[in-house]
Amino acid sequence: MVRAGGLGTLVLGVPERGVWGIFRAAAERAPVAFWLPVALIVVGIVVLKRTLRPLVPIEQQLERLATRLTVSPADLEPVRLPAPAAVGWNRLVEALRHGGQPEERESRLAQALEGYRQKKSDQVLNSLLDGVAVTDGQGRITFANKALLGLLGRRPGEDSVCGQTMFDCLGLAPGGQAVQPLKDPSLEGRPVIVEYQRGGQIEDGVLRIVRTPLAAEPGQSARGHVWCVRDVTQQKLADQMREQFVNAATHELRTPLANIKAYSETLALGDMVDVEQQKAFCNTIDEEVTRLANFVDDLLHLSRMQVGSTCLNRQTTDMERLFREVVGKVSQQMKQQQITFEVELPGKLPELLVDKEKFTVAVVNLLGNAAKYTPEGGRIRLGVELREGDETLQIDVEDTGIGIAPQELPKIFDRFFRSTDPRVGRTSGSGLGLALTQEIVRLHGGKVTVESELNKGSRFTILLPTRTEGATCSGV
């Protein structure tokens, strides 16, 4: 009979295999789980060695450099391996070798900065509206901005003027009196300002030329010059017209005032002047006062035009009645000059929305001009007709007067302009009438044209839309 319970303890002993034994046992029991990580580790070691191979010569060179007191780019050698690290190292070596010494790098940097400054200077000069050029000590152009090329009719980048002289480019006649200061050797070191007229007339062009010497050492002649060229043709034309206006205004004021003074002094004698003479003197004074009033009105109209405040007071107007009033205003002048005055009006004219007062002034100005420059025995015609399906009112003022020279036709409507024809100079006038007429017609939405032949006559035509068009005020 056996008792329940343990009989004792059984102890088994297994011999120790070591690390490799454990690996071998693991490989036998789970081959995939063991060999896969081992294979990955081996592959990683191989890849790492291949990747680090280019770094070995690089590391060796760096170790050698670490033991030297001075280092130059010549001490570095490129690595002949097709690896990214080797490519980067080779680029670094190449950059250091071609970068030069610090002095060379500073010189290159200074050159780059100077080039940048030169580029910015060229941009600034090319943005100027005045023509600018730089010439060397021999007078040859080394730089010319776009504005100067424009004045010369050249295209930037295509027609270079470098190497030429300013005299050749601008067509300056060396023997011309106006450019003599530019040829004077004693003025080489001082600024010079001249105005050069390209042709016989101001319209041919006027250039204002400023020449300034480049900075030079004390006691030395200028190393070159800076030239500034500006086209002042329009300014000169404006000055010329102002001078003409002053002369005309002086005459327009002095003559009537002298007549008024003379006749009023005569009337002051009282009984020494008979009644008929008194009436004649009073009529003359009245005419001269009217002449002055018209001149002042022209000045006021001009002033308003200049500030853009000439406005229209449009009202429904009987155009037939308007033209009858115009004829009444100028008929007496036609009779005095023994001019045949022909008026052609259609049977019926529409009512138009116009500024009656100003439009009357415009037509009277044309007829007055025609009478002024048509000799005795001449003919003036006022013709009015509807055109283009009654949408346009055409007004013609035709005369057999002295006519207008072809070269003066483009300027005939300019303010203050008066013809250089001596026959025009013998008559009074401010040069404002035609300019006012054109402005008034423009504000009504119409236009004024002129055809003329010298010594045969002129024809001025107003084309006025019958429908309300155009600006209400000048400058709009």
Q: Is residue 204's pLDDT more than 90?
A: no
The model's confidence at residue 99, banded by pLDDT at 50, 70 and 90, is: low
| Residue 351 confidence (pLDDT) | 92
**Average pLDDT over the chain, rounded to an integer:** 79
| Residue 117 confidence (pLDDT) | 67
What is the pLDDT averaged over residues 444-465? 94
> Tens digit of pLDDT for each residue in 281-336?
898 888 888 878 877 877 777 677 666 666 788 999 999 999 999 999 999 889 98
Walk me through the domains of the chain, giving residue ranges and CATH numbers.
28-99 (no CATH), 130-231 (3.30.450.20), 236-305 (1.10.287.130), 311-465 (3.30.565.10)
Record the pTM. Answer: 0.53
Q: Select the more confidently predicted residue: 154 or 193.
A: 193
Q: Answer for the pair 437, 362: CB distance below 8 angstroms, yes or no.
A: yes
18-54 burial, b if ≥16 CB within 10 A, otherwise e?
A: eeeeeeeeeeeeeeeebeeeeeeeeeeeeeeeeeeeb
The model's confidence at residue 37, banded by pLDDT at 50, 70 and 90, is: low
Q: Is residue 66's pLDDT more than 70?
A: no
Phi and psi at residue 167, to the nearest 5°? -65, -40
| Residue 476 confidence (pLDDT) | 40
Structural Rg of the chain based on CA atoms: 49
Helix residue ranges, H only, 387-456: 422-425, 433-443
d(CA 396, CA 398): 6
Percent of the chain with pLDDT over 70: 71
What is the pLDDT averaged over residues 175-190? 80
Q: Is residue 15's pLDDT more than 70?
A: no
| Ranges 51-65, 99-113, 201-215, 405-419: which has the least confidence | 99-113
Q: Is residue 59's pLDDT more than 80?
A: no
What is the pLDDT averaged over residues 3-32? 56
| Residue 21 confidence (pLDDT) | 61
| Ranges 110-114, 368-372, 434-438: which has the least confidence | 110-114
The model's confidence at residue 441, banded by pLDDT at 50, 70 and 90, is: very high
Please choose, from the candidates 76, 82, 94, 75, the residue with its C-alpha nearest in 3D space to the C-alpha of residue 53.
82
State how beta strands 457-465 and 392-399 pair: antiparallel
| Residue 78 confidence (pLDDT) | 77
d(CA 441, CA 463): 8
